[in-house]
Amino acid sequence: MLSSYMDHVLTMAGINAIGAWAVGIAIRSGQLSVGHAALAGIAGYSAGLITRDGGSFWLAVIVAVVVAAVTGAVLSALTQRLDHLFFALATLIFGEIAAIVATDTERLGGAAGLASIPFETTLTMVVVTLVIIVLVEVFVIRGSRAEVQMQLLAHNPSLVDLSGSSARRQKVVYFTLSAAAVGLAGAFHAHEFGVVQPRDLEFAPSLDLVVYAVVGGAHSGYGPIVGAIALTVGTEFIDIPGITRPVLFGAILLGVLLVRDRGIFARVPLRLGEGRGVTRSPDSAGSVSA
Amino acid sequence: MSENVPSFTRVIQAIVDGLMAGSLYALVAVAFSILWASVRTVNLGLLQVSAMGGIIAYSLSANGAVVAILGGVTAAGVVGLLIHFVAIKPFLKKWALLPIVASLGAGLLVRGAVILLFGEQSKRMPQLVPTGTWEMSGVFIRRTGVVVLVVALAFVLVGLYLTARTRIGLAFRASSWNADIAGAYGVDTERVRVGSAFAAAVAVGLAGVLAGVLAGSVHPYMGEDNGLKGLVAMLLGGAGNLPGALLAGLLVGMLESGAGMFISGALKNVVSYGLLFLVMVVKPSGLLKER
């Protein structure tokens, strides 16, 4: 049997992996979100409100996923006219607003957060979810239309429009999927810690998810998962005096990007339309200036 | 502000307070706009550079206001250039999201260094400029606020003059319009980009110092509030449009202080972020036309 501490660390690693995979889906379809922790937090609050009063855990999980998906769909649909850079900014502002509203809402526990949520999350649940995600990646997404679509959305959305479908609409679909996944992570998170706080919604935890995804390799399905597990477990046991977690993350992020900008574990993405401006050369495949 | 004050006076008061905060947003907005015009990216590390400028000015404040302000601003400029070379430039020809993510990472490092050197807690900023309050028929005007407003506006107006009327500005505008063609006409576009990165870092550093002066305190997380509102002001003014950034910055400041005074003090930040979000959704190209 694992010690309860080890159990907690691995559960957290798994929850972060689900969240990072969600952020990866958004990034892969060209939507850098630095507000995903807010989506997770909103899901966590929704789930916590149900289970805290004795409601069923699985009902709460479903509600959390739906709430996150709907919020994500609305957020994405409203901001599709923004350039990717300003899209990122909009998600950031969304997170700040969510955190402020949570702080100012008495019913959600104010700044102290929503407490006394039952501890329902188990390592098994998280592992099963991750296994499902990996199976979906390997058997559903890899080599499918969806994978090609996401790459086009990220690197050349006008090709999607030219092919007769709407890039904006497809982006909303992927963002909704991503929000649903991070909502699941948020529900697990709330029932692992027993509390959801406004600072869980802020920019810093959102950035953590982006770091996991980008360091692991945002363009591959399993990169964010490996990145999240490696960084969560790694930082739990590496303790350099004076170096705080954000600093370590900043250094790792910058270092990895400078050495290998696709992320550590990413495979080279499909070469779409080689020689026609979609990709440039093997070493910069999948990274075309917009 | 008591309830029996005539509403006209309160409006004037909101405008005065809004202009003071707004001049800082304008400064940040102009910085990001300069960067967008020539480098075509957003350096999110500048939020932390801004806080660093304020804290270095605090640490130099024993040597007088001039040394403190110049020191903070210079340090910001140098660190901003460093971020440009390490986290922005290597990624410019690659995917557009990479410089943003990398600059966020660089920002974490800058904040980490600041916390390591100066600690995490908030510090009282010594009075670098004259304090006190003028009263004019019920409207209170803080002298620090006036100094902040004048310094920020002077910096922005000098920047506008440089870009609009000088040869350096011509090079800047030409490479902003089309870097390739400007290069073909002999403009050293790389120098323009580096110069813009430095100017932007100096501007946000000054904003950090002035924010410290205005609030009377500095802390490592102070860059985010001004920085985010400045960023959105840049967008409202039309990315790359410097006069637009100036006007939008002042407008955001006044909207926010008006919302704080007439709607709800507690929800001031929600109101201002909400308004900003609304404008991003409704009119993403900015309120003014891009040049």
The ipTM of this complex is 0.80
How many C-alpha atoms does B77 have within 13 Å on its Cβ side? Answer: 14
pLDDT tens column, A71-111: 999 999 998 888 777 888 889 889 988 998 898 888 898 88
A4-284 maps to CATH 1.10.10? no
pTM, rounded to two decimals: 0.85
In a domain, B290, yes or no: no
Mutate to test the interface with B, among A75, A87, A202, A257 (most CBs of B within 10 A): A257
Q: Do A93 and B95 touch (CB under 8 A)?
A: no
Please give the structure tokens belonging to residue B289: 């036309």
- For the residues A34-58, what does the mean pLDDT come to? 94
Of A242, A257, A289, the CB nearest to B101: A257
Contact A209, A181 (CB under 8 A): no
Please give the structure tokens belonging to residue B153: 């506006």
pLDDT tens column, B89-122: 988 888 778 888 899 899 999 998 998 888 888 8
Q: What is the CATH number of the domain that holds B71?
A: 1.10.3470
Domain range annotation of chain A:
4-284
Closest by CA to A100, choosing from B234, B162, B266, is B266
Q: Do B101 and A101 touch (CB under 8 A)?
A: no
Q: Which residues pair with A196 in a beta bridge?
A: A114
In a domain, B287, yes or no: no
**Which domain range does residue B101 map to?**
7-282
Q: Do B94 and A101 touch (CB under 8 A)?
A: no
pLDDT tens column, B25-43: 999 999 999 998 888 888 9
Whole-Å CA distances, B279 to B37, B233, B237, B285: 21, 10, 11, 9
In a domain, B289, yes or no: no
pLDDT tens column, B258-283: 888 877 666 667 777 887 788 778 87
Number of domains in chain B: 1
pLDDT tens column, B163-182: 888 888 888 888 888 888 88
B119: closest chain A residue by CA: A242
